[in-house]
Structure 1
Amino acid sequence: MSEYQNFQEEEINLREEIQKYLKYWPWILASVITALIIATVFLKLSSPVYRSSATIIIKDEDTKSPGSGMSSFADLGFIDGLQTSSIENEIGLLESKRMMTKTIKSLDLNIRYYAKSLFVTREIYNNVPFKISILQLNASKLSQFAGDGLNSFTVSFENDYVVLSNMETGEKIKSKFGDPLNIDFADIVVRKNENFDIVEEDEAEYSFNISPLSSVVSYYNARLEVSLVNDNSTLIELSLQDEIPGKSEDVLDQLISEYNKEAIIDKNLVATNTAEFIDERLKIINFELDSVEIDKEVFKENRELTDIRAESEIFLQNASEYKKKRQEVITQVQLASAMLDYLREGSNSDLLPANLGLEGEGVNQQVSEYNQLVLERNRILEASTTKNPVIVRLDQQIDQMRSVVKKSLQRLKSNLDITMNELGNEAKLIQSRISEVPSMERQYRGIDRQQQIKEALYLFLLQKREENSLSLAVTAPKAKIVDNAYTSGQIAPKPRMILLGGLIFGLLVPFIIIYGKNLLNNKVKSRDDLEKRAKQIAIAGEIPRIDKKDSHLITEADRSVLAESFRIAITNMQYLLINKTDKQKGIKMLVTSTVKGEGKTFTSINLALTLANMGKKVIVVGADLRNPQLQRYDVGSRKQLGVSDYLINEDLKLEELIEQTKYNNNLDFLTSGSIPPNPSELLRHRRLGEMLSMLEETYDYIILDTAPCMLVADTFLISQYADLTLYVVRSSYTEKQLIQFPLDSIKSGKLHDVSFVLNDVDSANFGYYGNKYGYSYGYSEDEGFINKIKKYFN
């Protein structure tokens, strides 16, 4: 059950909070309508902004590839570690002011053209009847003229002449198309645009202005966005926001073109420097190669060489042959020596060895003849003796032949010794040549190595020169265009967002104002403010705010809101006087407030009139002796005696001081009378109690219009006689912190039986139940259109 009650309380509180704002619905509606009108006008007057974009792929620069302008240096090892082709660097280059400056210069975007028709001036890009070309520009003067607004000109045509009028000074300059003319900060030429569509822009007034290049570059640089489409690729998207789609598309395309041009120029510059370097190196290498080849030629000539490897093989072969021949000669010498030894030791009957391998044909024949003689002697000797003349003759022949063979062998040996010496000398020569071969080969290999190195480097540089020539002849762009610049659509202003923003703004502004007003407000506004600060004090009634043109007093059979509010208040008072049921008449109601001006007298009189209209006998007593206000409602009473006179003068009779009012026969006034110097002492007089007792016998209700209790103590002196204290609080007048004063007064016993009457309540805050929950009842013959609308929304 408690949760249900909490939910109901929260719901009621929410409704109350909403009600605080809904009561100002006309202002909220007016604010929303105004904001929507402003948003609509803004959409009509603002220039739409479009977003153009283009996509490119940055080619990876491979320094080792033959097509790269850096490949020659890369193969030579000169730029290892120096090549940085990071994609972030390329994005930075595309976003640089230098690239944008080249783009703006190429498109002449610092010259802007305008067309004015039907009081609307708009920028145009291509479809303009003339074109401006800048021959010479003084940048410092242009900045000064632009700051003074002297850089804009209107253009008109007179036959073959063009007339420029300065939009600020009105100064005119006349010139023929194509002739140079001076406009103080620049020399320009005005030419006709052959592609101008005269039908589209007919009847328009044309103008142009020239802006400083730096400002235009900054403008487009701020609106340019360059970003990677994917972190793992070299795909880059360029986007630009501008009021003219064609211009932004041209800027993006030209920016890509300028980027490629610069890349090609850089590549060609590298290739040109590479070509110069290669040509210089070729001259040096060619000279060094010639020198090495001459050294090689001299080396061969001095050593009578053709081919070291082949000649060394010949030397080895000759050395082997000479060694073999020498061995053979040694064998022959040994054979000859053996034959000589055999001849010296042998007799005539001994045969000489034959066919031993001696190479001398004469010796072999002599040995053969000798052996034949020995054989014949030995054969004859077998049949005869040594004395035989034949034997003697044969011995002589054998001796002679032996001597001949011996001499022949000695000669053969001498010849063989000579041959062996010659062979030894030749062998030594060949051996020396063979021993020289490693040294010659080493020297030759060094020369040959130098020749090969120079020749390889020479051929390499020739190849690189051809590759470099190809790279100069074929220059591919660095940025490959994936999508040319295109406009995706309008990005600002967005009508839905602007209108929605206007609606929100129109709703938000009054809510903020109302909230701020409530937050800063320190005055009591409504019943809620009283209930929050003084829950223990009942609220007897709420009195609405009355227009000056309306009557401030209630009449008989009055059906106004004022009259009904007092009727409700009297009804509530009956419940508050439940403990006073023993009193049939003479009920005393004390009306007071915290400070002056809160409507005590107004409340007292209307309360009395309402009771009088109900047939009750009522008297209003002016108990404010210091600042009486009751006389304002009856001019005649201002000159009469009253309460103060009665309290001072015991001879005065009370019935003589009471005056019947003109408003109602049941209503009488007892004014405060003369203003005394000592009001507090008078109110302590015993005659005050006697006076009230006498009035109780005559009247049903006695209403005491007293002084503000916070300013003087007079009211506290009278409160002891009151059956009910009506504490008047004026809406939008009484400060909230002053509500603490009646609470303190009740706590201290100065006031008792206190009830609030909230006076001068605004119509938006009036009627706790009626307005809060949307119920109303007609109190006038014609509600009017505004009242009907309010009733409908309530």
Structure 2
Amino acid sequence: MNNSPTNISEIKEQSIKELLKQYVRYWYLFLFGILIALTGAYIYLRYATKTYATSSTIIIKDEKKGGGAAELAAFSDLSLFSNAFSDNIANELVILRSKSLIGKTVESLNLNVQYFYEGSIKTSELYVYKPFKVNYLSVSDKTQLTIPQLVIIMHSDAEFTIEDINKTFSKKYSFGDKIDLPFGDLVVVPNTENIDKFNNYLEKPIHVVYHSVENVAAHFQGLLNLVHDGKNGEVVSLKLTSSLPVKAEDFLNELVYQYNQDAINDRSQIAQKTSNFIDSRLEIITRELDSVENNKERFKSTNRLTDIEAEANLILENASDYNKRQVDTSTQLELIDSMISYMDSTSSIDLLPSNIGIDNGEIQSSVGTYNQLVLEKNRLLKNSTSKNPVIINLDSQIEQLKSSISGSLKNQQRFYQVAIKDLNNQENIFNAKLSQVPEKEKLFRGIVRQQNIKEQLYLFLLQQREETSISLAVTSSKAKVVDAAYSGKGQESPKPSLIYLLSFILGLLVPFLLIYIYYLFNTKVSNRSDVERVHRTTPLIGEIPKLSRGEEELIKHNDRSILAESFRILRTNLQYLLAGKTTVDGGLPKKIFVTSTIKGEGKTFVAFNLALSLAQTGKKVVLVGADIRNPQLHRYLPGQQKDKKGLTEYIIDHTIAAADLASQSEYNENLSIIMSGVIPPNPAELLMQPRTNIFFEEIKDLYDFIIVDTAPSMLVTDTILINKIADVTLYVIRANFTDKKLMEFPKDAIEEGRLANIALVLNSVTMSNFGYGNKYGYTYSEEKKTFFQRLFNR
């Protein structure tokens, strides 16, 4: 019990070694696979299209937080720049990836027209330098999807030939000519700034491909990646992967520029709308102020008043606070009335004036949000219809927000109306106390109060108009560029190190899988390990190498081949196996039977060569053909008479002596051969006759060794019947021929006692599986081997 873990560990270690051994045996396949894979990887990397990562970093300014540009620092105290927008970084990312903005970028850079140069192996796109430019003057909307690919061949800096890819038309033109084609008109303009580069493309076909702006915009929209980790405030990274780094850099830079232009246009619309509103109000206030001043002048002239203000200030010194509050409240009420009147006359696509002085932060914030929604709706209407669900949703939000703003204004209006009423009541009380003030002075005070209200409102509107004019004159970009678009030095894909690594793994994996599949479907015995795995207790005393085509099958005198040496080893192991054993009658063991499971495993070959090997030691050996159903000894006896009497005649005819059957072999003087005789109709019953035992008793004293070639054990019962006569039975298994399942038959026969004194011999073993001789670099032959035989140890 204590030794079990050790034995299990040894068995596992041995199994692992055997598993590794069966793969290491084919090391040349792994080497070949790696070389092929790495060569393929090199060719792929040589001609594969390389892509590079291009990135740019910007800061999207949050103007609500006072994030204006440095050039507007002088105006940072103006409320227009601090409350114009309520930015949301997520919304800005959507705008940056919008198809409309990317479409403007594509149109600006003319990216929907591509130029390709047809090389000897692959076609490359021309971008940095193009020998000419194709201007598509007009393209029919109905044919945008079917515009053919054009092929232009330049003959000189003046002439070129244009044709379509299918060569349905071909004609020579001069540069600058207007070319009328079925899908539209175009003009080809040469680029001769670098005449050397221009000449390199002469007489070489250049392909021109036209795409619709929408398709190209959708393509870039899918490639563009915007990264905002939420930790760096308004910092956004724009990333793009392309095979043309310069093209990707131009696209990202232009995209940021178009984004800034779009934001500037939006702010200009709001500022312009506010300016128009202020101008209209100033016109009304100016007329009202002129009317009040004229009334004041007529009143003073009619009543001959000179310093009524000084007298009123002296009398109404204590009433100044009420007057100031009345003026402020009336101003706010006037602004609210104007705003309500303006809202009632606008539609859902009109912007509202922002920051006109209404003293209510909630209303100002709502107006800013309302304008942002209107701008978003107007932007979407450029590429969509009013039935779009997104626009319908925006309309609903705009109407709700407009209703909310209107309600807030009306609430504020009622509040100021109540406040003015209260102030008027307080004024009446105060006026009662001033009953001694002349009626004319009170009338004059009312005129002055109206004048002050109109003047304050007039000055306020002038200030707002100035701020709006500044915002129109000074426009700042929405996105500040931190890092302009740049491309990394290393390629993004394919990665050479990764490709070579994967190729190396693939070069190992494919041979491994081939070998694995080979062993998985290979049901034949291959080597010594396959035999010993089934027959753990039965000794394997010999391995016979596989013979090449045309190689001699029988060993000769003083033979130094690996075949002869393998039989010498078999002979030696057999002698050690027989050493110390005695037969039933007390004699030395000498009867050696040779059998196999099925036909074709080489038992006759082994029996004949073993007999020759024993005879070469000077021993007297007789080879008996006991396979009376299918005798094969005659294959190795071309000079012998095949019809000579043999074992079957001896058993049938009691007058025949065993010694008379033997004939000397021409291969060795110490070897005699007894043929099997004629094929009987009842071989099994014949071998069961007592004459069979008498035969072996007669010849055992005549020879030192008796080698018996018997029938296959599984196919017929002959060998099982006479096996008890043998001192030892050599059971032949043929490599790459005997099925592994067939090895269960001798195992069961041994365990059940049907076969006794068994020793195994593995025949036809390949050199890669052979356990002796050349495998360990020690050869007994002088034969010359080819380079590949020496390389693969064949």
Which one of 112, 125, 132 corresponds to residue 130 of structure 1?
Answer: 132
Change (3 A) 1:314 1:98: closer
Which one of 597, 600, 604 corresponds to residue 597 of structure 1?
Answer: 600
Which one of 44, 47, 50 corresponds to residue 45 of structure 1?
Answer: 47
User: Offset at 1:190?
Assistant: 0.7
Supply the distance in 1 between the matched residues of 2:490 and 2:594 (Cα, whole angstroms): 70
Change (3 A) 1:707 1:284: farther
Matched, 1:695 2:731: no
Q: Which residue in the other structure is 1:388 paired with? A: none
**Which structure 2 residues correspond to residues 603-614 of structure 1 after superposition, within 5 A?**
603-614=606-617
Which one of 705, 721, 725 corresponds to residue 725 of structure 2?
Answer: 721
Change (3 A) 1:660 1:484: same
Deviations 1:549-583 (A, max 9, x none): 22222222111111111211222222222342567
User: Offset at 1:660?
Assistant: 3.4
Q: Which residue in the other structure is 1:623 paired with? A: 626
Q: Is the 8 A contact 1:127 1:196 kept in 2?
A: no
**Which structure 2 residues correspond to residues 466-477 of structure 1 after superposition, within 5 A?**
466-477=466-477
User: Offset at 1:749?
Assistant: 0.7
User: Offset at 1:650?
Assistant: 3.6
Q: Which residue in the other structure is 1:540 paired with? A: 541
Change (3 A) 1:440 1:140: same
**Which structure 2 residues correspond to residues 501-650 of structure 1 after superposition, within 5 A?**
501-581=502-582, 587-635=590-638, 636-650=640-654
Give 1:622's aligned amino acid: G
Change (3 A) 1:6 1:535: closer
Q: Secondary structure at the match of 2:666?
A: coil
User: Offset at 1:163?
Assistant: 0.5
Range that drifts further, 186-195 or 169-178:
169-178
Supply the distance in 2 between the matched residues of 1:439 and 1:587 (Cα, whole angstroms): 163
Q: Which residue in the other structure is 1:489 paired with? A: 489
Which one of 656, 664, 688 corresponds to residue 668 of structure 2?
Answer: 664
**Which structure 2 residues correspond to residues 232-251 of structure 1 after superposition, within 5 A?**
232-251=232-251
Q: Which residue in the other structure is 2:191 paired with? A: 193
State the TM-score, normalized to the length of structure 2: 0.73
User: Offset at 1:207?
Assistant: 0.7
Give 2:463's aligned amino acid: Q
Q: Which residue in the other structure is 2:737 paired with? A: 733
Which runs of 5 or more residues in structure 2 are unaligned? Answer: 318-429
Q: Which residue in the other structure is 1:782 paired with? A: 784
Q: Secondary structure at the match of 2:489?
A: strand
**Which structure 2 residues correspond to residues 103-114 of structure 1 after superposition, within 5 A?**
103-114=105-116
Which one of 32, 41, 65 corresponds to residue 30 of structure 1?
Answer: 32
Q: Secondary structure at the match of 1:489?
A: coil
Percent of counterpart pairs with the same letter?
39
Q: Secondary structure at the match of 2:155?
A: strand
Deviations 1:5-28 (A, max 9, x none): 999887766554443223212222
Supply the distance in 2 between the matched residues of 1:482 and 1:174 (Cα, whole angstroms): 49
Change (3 A) 1:314 1:164: closer
User: Offset at 1:300?
Assistant: 11
Deviations 1:624-662 (A, max 9, x none): 333333332234554344333433444444344434333
Q: Which residue in the other structure is 1:478 paired with? A: 478
Supply the distance in 2 between the matched residues of 1:89 and 1:687 (Cα, whole angstroms): 109
Supply the distance in 1 between the matched residues of 2:765 and 2:239 (Cα, whole angstroms): 61
**Which structure 2 residues correspond to residues 675-694 of structure 1 after superposition, within 5 A?**
675-694=679-698
Q: Secondary structure at the match of 2:676?
A: coil
Give 1:187's aligned amino acid: D
User: Offset at 1:192?
Assistant: 0.7
Q: Is the 8 A contact 2:592 2:708 kept in 1?
A: yes
Flag the structure with larger Rg.
Answer: 1
Give 2:517's aligned amino acid: G
Change (3 A) 1:287 1:713: farther
Give 2:174's aligned amino acid: K
User: Offset at 1:744?
Assistant: 1.4
Supply the distance in 2 between the matched residues of 1:680 and 1:288 (Cα, whole angstroms): 142
Q: Secondary structure at the match of 2:711?
A: coil
Give 2:192's aligned amino acid: E
Which runs of 5 or more residues in structure 1 are unaligned? Answer: 317-429
Change (3 A) 1:603 1:14: same
Q: Secondary structure at the match of 2:543?
A: strand
Q: Is the 8 A contact 2:289 2:455 kept in 1?
A: yes
Supply the distance in 1 between the matched residues of 2:660 and 2:438 (Cα, whole angstroms): 166
Q: Is the 8 A contact 1:587 1:723 kept in 2?
A: yes
Change (3 A) 1:312 1:63: closer
Give 1:252's aligned amino acid: L
Q: Is the 8 A contact 2:264 2:477 kept in 1?
A: yes
Supply the distance in 2 between the matched residues of 1:431 and 1:578 (Cα, whole angstroms): 151
Give 2:737's aligned amino acid: Y
Change (3 A) 1:152 1:755: farther
Q: Secondary structure at the match of 1:490?
A: coil
Q: Secondary structure at the match of 1:619?
A: strand
Change (3 A) 1:247 1:537: same
Range that drifts further, 759-768 or 286-295:
286-295
Change (3 A) 1:724 1:485: same
User: Offset at 1:679?
Assistant: 2.5
User: Offset at 1:786?
Assistant: 3.9
**Which structure 2 residues correspond to residues 282-293 of structure 1 after superposition, within 5 A?**
282=282
Supply the distance in 2 between the matched residues of 1:137 and 1:26 (Cα, whole angstroms): 62
Which one of 121, 137, 153 corresponds to residue 151 of structure 2?
Answer: 153
Give 1:209's aligned amino acid: V
User: Offset at 1:135?
Assistant: 1.9
Change (3 A) 1:770 1:783: closer
Q: Which residue in the other structure is 1:207 paired with? A: 206
State the TM-score, normalized to the length of structure 1: 0.73
Change (3 A) 1:292 1:85: farther
Q: Is the 8 A contact 2:58 2:482 kept in 1?
A: yes
Q: Is the 8 A contact 2:308 2:441 kept in 1?
A: no
Q: Secondary structure at the match of 2:63?
A: coil
Supply the distance in 2 between the matched residues of 1:211 and 1:189 (Cα, whole angstroms): 14
User: Offset at 1:449?
Assistant: 8.2
Matched, 1:231 2:234: no
Range that drifts further, 739-748 or 206-215:
206-215
Give 1:62's aligned amino acid: K
Q: Secondary structure at the match of 1:135?
A: strand
Give 2:761's aligned amino acid: V
Change (3 A) 1:591 1:313: same
Range that drifts further, 252-261 or 584-593:
584-593
Q: Which residue in the other structure is 1:90 paired with? A: 92
User: Offset at 1:757?
Assistant: 1.4
